[in-house]
Chains A and B, each alone.
Chain A
Amino acid sequence: MNVESPIREPLILGNKSYHQITEDICKPIEGRANKLWYLVFTVAAICALWGVGLIAYTFGTGIGVWGLNKTVGWAWDITNFVWWVGIGHAGTLISAILLLFRQKWRMAINRSAEAMTIFAVICAAMFPAIHVGRVWVVYWFFPVPNQLGSLWVNFNSPLLWDLFAISTYFSVSLGFWYIGLIPDFATVRDRQIKPIMKKIYSVLSFGWSGNVKTWQRFEEVSLVLAGLSTPLVLSVHTIVSMDFATSIVPGWHTTIFPPYFVAGAIFSGFAMVATLLIIMRKVLNLEEYITINHLESMNKIIVVTGSIVGVAYITELVIAWYSGVQYEHYAFLNRATGPYAWAYWIMMSCNVISPQLFWSRKIRRSLVATFMLSIVVNIGMWFERFVIIVTSTHRDFLPSSWTMFYPTFVDIGIFIGTLGIFFTLFLLFSRAFPVIAIAETKSILKISGDGWKKKTEELYEKVGESEHHH
């Protein structure tokens, strides 16, 4: 039996039994949704439909309905793309990297964080598809023989690397998530009385039995998937950053981009996980599983990655100065003091200054502060991408082409639409899927459960007493 030091805080509160864990996590699936759920779902679904409508309008009319112009060719579309992909990174970090590091606190949050990853990548992947304009020839992205001749796609191009990175990332994350869900679907299946529910969950659970050989393979498969996903998640944002870094645009042509983008991605992703989980634990009564301790651990990651991002911002400025290139000088001077300075300083204050509050244990462990700061960070990270993309392009090498970018209602509407799609999917997930990994949580109950830890503590005290007597 594994024993953990009593100094470590329990990860499962309330002296749970295995059965109680099943009950608590299956309850939202089996019960009825309350009015609040329907209200939020309706709002999210309306936003999603509005976004889909505007995407259809874009297809029908053309990219001209966006605020793009000859100078600023990428704006909200790619900002949103990078922002959503970045958000997805936290889920993979929690499920893969924290698994390799054997961090037990990931058990309570990995399922919903992975769901967030998948939904965020769905939102992200829409943007490259729709910003090509002629979506009916989007298959030109793929390495397929071409009816116009034998010209193939260009494998030297980071934009094509991106296609492979995002599709691999999405499909591997989906597989990882589903494999983990199979035993939990079986748990749901075996407690259903209504035949329809039983049928649905028996199809979803693939006939899982939980025998020795299958569990043995399951654990090995999870470990290998974690090992594959770890470099994968780092590669995805690295490649996304190369979309910019391999160009010659001042402000984009920066070798620091790959690590800086990856840190920023994890930073924004953890913020989104915190936003979602603070609401979810309350609404679904899972406060004993997703504890303040879990949120504090995430806040620690937020302060570390936020500081890395801050260092990267300052390094970028110093290197721009040190390069001695006047265009580089101007790009960064313009960023901080030009017409988009407001966006730059929103980015700086949200991403660099505000997360520093998490050095205080009191703030790290405050739900209200965590919730507010998580939203601040997400706003800041959206502005980071906007600042990088738009301020670098709006004043290019030819001053006569200088311009500003103004979003149209279509730009804004499609962004709101992706938020709607994201929350619609997440709300459906929270009603139909076990939002906490049931099997994994049970496996740490005897080590990190509240009741069990108290027993260990008593054991420690006894050992201490007997030592005194000697």
Chain B
Amino acid sequence: MGKKTILAVFEDPDETLYGAKHLMSKGVKIREVYSPFPIHGIDKALGVKPTRISTVAFFYGVMGVSLALLMMWYMNVQDWAMNIGGKPSFSLSQNLPAFIPVTFEITVLIAAHLMNFTFLFRSRLFPGFKSMNPDLRATDDKFVMEIVLDDNKVSADELKAMVKETKAIEINDAELKYKD
């Protein structure tokens, strides 16, 4: 069903990183690396762009500030200006100090949750979804590099010969678990 792949299995995060750098320098295209914990620097080595999720979170925060102030202005100033202790709410600017705590809380609330949802949505994480992981040991103690044959111009044997130059402990044939 899926495309033919070669799985290079490593035991050590640093060896995986060096292996990936070595293969990339030889012009091999690596589709994916699955690991039980993040390997620092592998994203750069594979040419994966930096994530923009923190920028997105900032804008969610800006949205939170605006929504919070708009809500409090409408409820406590515009629609029904409460007169508390002879100090009526005349305008947003006059009432701002008392509105700061709730503004802060709503900002954090909206920024955090929308960022989480964006992360889950963009990373295709949802209850009931299937894992793309080609080797179950990749969530335990192995680091699995997935090389798709169609991505590379050289033959499978040549690819395997290049993978052998790295510290991979196993080189296995497999298929992609998802439609490419």
- A: residues with CB less than 8 A from B are 1, 17-19, 22, 143, 150-156, 158, 160-161, 164-165, 167-168, 171-172, 175-176, 179, 182-183, 186-187, 189-191, 202-221, 223-225, 228-229, 231-232, 235, 239, 242, 438-440, 442-443, 446
A155 touches B75 (CB 8 A): yes
Give min CB distance, B100 to chain A, whole Å.
9
In the complex the two chains form, what is the Cα distance from A214 to B138 in whole Å? 14
A75 → chain B closest CB, angstroms: 26
Q: For chain B residues 18-61, which have a beta carbon within 8 Å of chain A? A: 32-39, 42-43, 46, 48, 50-51, 53-54, 57
List 6 A-B residue pairs with CB atoms under 8 Å apart, sorted by A's residue number: A158-B101, A190-B136, A207-B128, A218-B38, A225-B115, A231-B108
Instruction: Name the one of B46, B95, B129, B139 contacting A210, with C-beta atoms under 8 angstroms.
Output: B139
**Which among A152, A158, A220, A239 is the interface contact of B80 at CB below 8 angstroms?**
A152
Contacts of A242 in B (CB 8 A): 101
Task: Report which residue of B39, B105, B133 has the largest number of chain A beta carbons within 10 angstroms of its beta carbon.
Answer: B105
Q: Complex formed: what's the CA distance from A204 to B105 in Å?
A: 28
Q: Report the Cα distance A207→B34, complex, angstroms.
A: 13
Chain B's closest residue to A438 (CB) is B36
CB distance B125 to A208 under 8 Å? Answer: yes
Nearest chain B residue, comparing its CB with the CB of A246:
B98
Cβ contact of A175, chosen from B71, B76, B112, cutoff 8 A: B112
| Chain B positions within 8 Å of A22 at CB level | 36, 140-141
- Among B34, B38, B136, point to the contact of A216 (Cβ < 8 A): B38
Chain A residue nearest to B136 (CB atoms) is: A190
B102/A164 in contact, CB under 8 A? yes
Contact partner of A160 (CB less than 8 A), chosen from B32, B53, B102, B139, is: B102
Q: Are A208 and B116 CB-contacts (below 8 A) given A150-B79, A154-B76, A224-B57?
A: no
Instruction: Knowing A156-B98, A187-B139 are in contact, say whether A212-B115 is a contact too (CB < 8 A).
Output: no
Contacts of A440 in B (CB 8 A): 37
- Chain B residues with CB under 8 Å of A168's CB are 105-106, 108-109
A239 to B108, CA, bound (A): 15
A328 to B85, CA, bound (A): 23
B54-A439 in contact (CB<8A): no
Known A-B contacts: A156-B84, A168-B106, A219-B38. Give 11 more (CB < 8 A). A18-B140, A156-B76, A161-B102, A164-B102, A167-B109, A179-B116, A186-B131, A203-B128, A209-B132, A210-B139, A217-B119
User: Which residues of chain A are near B14, meaning CB under 8 Å?
Assistant: 1, 446
Name the B residues within 8 Å of A443 (CB-CB): 37-38
Please name the residue on chain B nearest to A166 by beta carbon. B105
Q: How far, in angstroms, from A214 to B154 measured CA to CA in the complex? A: 29
Would you call B2 an interface residue if the criterion is a C-beta within 8 Å of the partner chain's C-beta atoms? no
CA distance A214 to B129 in the complex (A): 15
Q: Which of B53-108 contact A (CB under 8 A)?
A: 53-54, 57, 71-72, 75-76, 79-80, 82, 84, 89, 95, 98-99, 101-102, 104-106, 108
- Bound complex: CA of A215 vs CA of B50, how far in Å? 11
Q: Which residues of A contact B116 (CB under 8 A)?
A: 175, 179, 221, 225
Decide if B140 touches A171 in the complex (CB within 8 Å): no
Interface of A is mostly: helix
Residues of A near B80 (CB, < 8 A) are 150-152
- The reply on B130 being an interface residue by CB < 8 A is yes
Nearest A residue to B56 by beta-carbon distance? A224
Nearest B residue to A439 via CB reads B37
Q: Which residue of A lies closest to B46 (CB)?
A: A212
In the complex, A442→B95 CA distance in Å?
Answer: 50
Find out whether the CB atom of A172 lies under 8 angstroms from the CB atom of B136.
Answer: no
Question: A320 CA to B179 CA in the complex, in Å?
Answer: 72
Q: Are B53 and A217 in contact (CB under 8 A)?
A: yes
Contact A179 B128 (CB under 8 A): no
Are B105 and A161 neighbours in the complex by a CB distance under 8 Å?
Answer: yes
- Inter-chain CA distance A235–B106, complex, in Å, is 12
The verdict on A225 contacting B133 (CB below 8 Å), with A22-B140, A190-B139 known, is no
Inside 8 A of B48's CB, which chain A residues have their CB?
Answer: 212-213, 216
Q: Which residues in chain B, 124-176, are within 8 Å of chain A measured between CB atoms?
A: 124-133, 136-141
Chain B residues near A438 (CB-CB < 8 A) = 36
* Best-surrounded residue of A164, A172, A211, A446 (most CB of chain B within 10 A): A211
Please tell me if the beta carbons of A442 and B37 are within 8 angstroms of each other in the complex.
yes
Is the pair A155, B72 in contact by a Cβ cutoff of 8 Å?
Answer: yes
B111 within 8 A of A: yes
What's the Cα separation between A439 and B139 when bound, in Å? 9
Q: How far is A49 from B51 in the complex, measured between Cα atoms in Å? A: 47
Q: Cβ of A187 and Cβ of B105 under 8 Å apart? A: no
Residue of A19, A154, A161, A206 touching B82 (CB-CB under 8 A): A154
Residues on B with C-beta less than 8 A from A232 are: 105, 108
Residue from A161, A209, A232 whose CB has the most chain B CB atoms within 10 Å: A209
Docked Cα-Cα span, A228 to B57, in Å, equals: 10
Residues of A within 8 A of B72 (CB): 155
In the complex, the chain B residue whose C-beta lies closest to that of A440 is: B37
Contacts of A167 in B (CB 8 A): 109
Contact in complex: A211, B33 (CB < 8 Å): yes
Chain A residues near B119 (CB-CB < 8 A): 179, 217-218, 221
A403 to B53 alpha-carbon distance, docked (Å)? 57
B113–A171 touching, CB < 8 Å: yes
Complex contact B75–A186 (CB within 8 A) = no
- Cross-chain contact of A143 among B71, B122, B125, B126 (Cβ < 8 A): B71
Return chain A residues, CB-CB under 8 Å to B101. 158, 161, 164-165, 235, 239, 242
The answer on a CB contact under 8 Å between B140 and A187 is yes
Instruction: Report the minimum CB–CB distance from B134 to chain A (whole Å).
Output: 9
Point out the residue from B54, B76, B95 that lies within 8 Å of A224, measured CB to CB: B54
A163 CB to closest chain B CB (Å) equals: 9
Query: Hey, which chain A residues are within 8 Å of B37, CB to CB?
Result: 183, 215, 439-440, 442-443
Contacting residues, chain B, for A228 (C-beta < 8 A): 57, 108, 111-112
A187 CB contacts on chain B under 8 angstroms = 36, 139-140
